[in-house]
Chains A and B, each alone.
Chain A
Amino acid sequence: MDFAMIFFILVGALSVATAVGVVTSRVAVHSALFLLVHFATLAILYVTLNAQFLAAAQIIVYAGGIVILILFVIMLIGSAPLETRAGYRSWVPYAGLALGLLMLAGMAMTMLQMPLTPTDPNANQGGAPILLGVQIYSQNILLVELAAVLLLVALLGALLLARQPKTEETTIS
């Protein structure tokens, strides 16, 4: 039980705890803050996996972008208590939980039989920004272009979708 393992268990437990917090909070803002911490713990885990650039990207994009976005939307929409409850609410979550546990059992059974460890601890040094950058822009350049197009489309789409419906004053004629 060395330091790496203890560290992993602590951070993992925090990750799981915040995840549960996201799911079970009654207040939407609390869920968003739990999510923020969850993302942070994941970033720490990425660092332990030699993915330094991605850890930074995780903080910037997810924690610093997406969660902020969600908080803005909560601000716009508000989180009034919800009234209607549909009939399937009584069994759908439990069915989901059962399925999830089944999945976990299956995966655990297969994976814990063969604990995998990388053979050469010093070989995986590719997570540094420069190395990842070289990889992306030389061998996987197509992905970069496609991601750019995707982001452009998403930008336009979000813009269109969230516009105010046309009223008399806003039409240009």
Chain B
Amino acid sequence: MGKRSRSDIVAYVSMVGPALLVYLLIVAYPVLNSVVISFTNFNPIAGTTPEFTGLANYSRMLQDPDFWHAFRNNMVVVGISVFGQIPIGFVLAYILFRKLVRGQAFFQAMVFLPNFLSTIVIGILWRRIFLANGPVSRVLQAVSGDPSAQFTMMLYPETVMIPIGFALIWIYTGFFMIIFLANLQKIDLGLLEAAQIDGATEFQVFFKIIVPMLASVLLINAILAIAGSLKGFDLIFSMTTQGIQRDNAMVLPIFMYQKAFLDRSNSVRFAYGAAISNAIVLISIAIILFANFVGKKLGAQEDI
């Protein structure tokens, strides 16, 4: 466009300013603080002056086998989100958009509905479902004919992510679905009709027209999914009972919470927790950059 005039600059600052101001005040300072603390032995309760300890907190974290366990679990969650929630959300949004079923408003509401309930409630309910003699166990007993059969997937680290993955998909797919739906609204229906008149099947319309048009939204959603997976805490926390279930299903935010808040005997736990939080953010950024890179290769236009 043309050159920028003073009024342009004033307009820009007034557009962007308020958001930036609030954001910097509330988010920037604590985050910087957190970064600084993570290199010290900050102990706010005892009120001692923090001393610089370098990478001590970080190396402690990297040497903790629980960290790696949580990391692996978190990668599973990321996988479920990116390869489960997003494709399913996309397909559902498409179905609604193309009016392939009647009662769209109703079905849309139903898929999105889990977002209304606080995750803690959902966690409590689903936990009950999976416990001894709960509905799932009863179904198992009926199906297998063994009256003492129990649903044990929550007890073993190898299988615990299956029921949790199921719950994750049920809850969060709706979130991505409505984002896809909002963006689908922009597409000119005339274009699709023209394609169909030319003989394209539903599948072809979907893969050859819709997906490329929404490529950048797909990327944004993938990024949101990754970010959400790495900071999501409530659901897994409330779905698992304290002890083996929570340890098996441990993800990084819960790991951070346990180390920073629950481990009361560790006097530098806030500094340690800060280090873990920062590590989580770094990991998130790394994965997102990677996703961005892959996305650009696959054709998404704008990067974030």
A binds B: no
Residues of B within 8 A of A (CB): none
User: Which residues of A are in contact with B by a Cβ distance under 8 Å?
Assistant: none
